[in-house]
Amino acid sequence: MSNAVGDPQLRVTSELKMDTRIVAMECWALEAESLDGTEVFFQSAFRNGMGVLYVTFEGYNSPTAKLEWLTFLKSVGKAELSDPTEEARR
């Protein structure tokens, strides 16, 4: 995520910070766009007791891009975790 901050071809539009829209687990997010504003780059890191999920979205800067990204983030953030030992017993 720190690479995006230092990339001279990108402008950071939202600094790395805790994403409070995600409530089920810790999520840190960074948003950037190309200097001409035609592409967006969204990065998030989800953390729970088991590990970290790092995801990047790169796409055209459109009215739906951020909405699609937020929909994805919320789907990860509310996913129910199950105990694999319980599933094996079924």
Reported pTM: 0.76
Our count of domains for the chain comes to: 1
Calculate the CA dihedral of residues 14, 42, 59, 5 and round it to 10 degrees: 70
pLDDT score of 20 more than 80:
yes
pLDDT score of 38 more than 70:
yes
Q: pLDDT digit string (tens) for 6-19? A: 788 899 999 999 99
For the chain, what is the total number of helices (H) and then of strands (E)?
3, 4
Q: Which domain holds residue 64?
A: 2-89
DSSP state of 35: T
CATH number at residue 74: 3.30.160
The predicted structure's pLDDT at residue 12 = 93
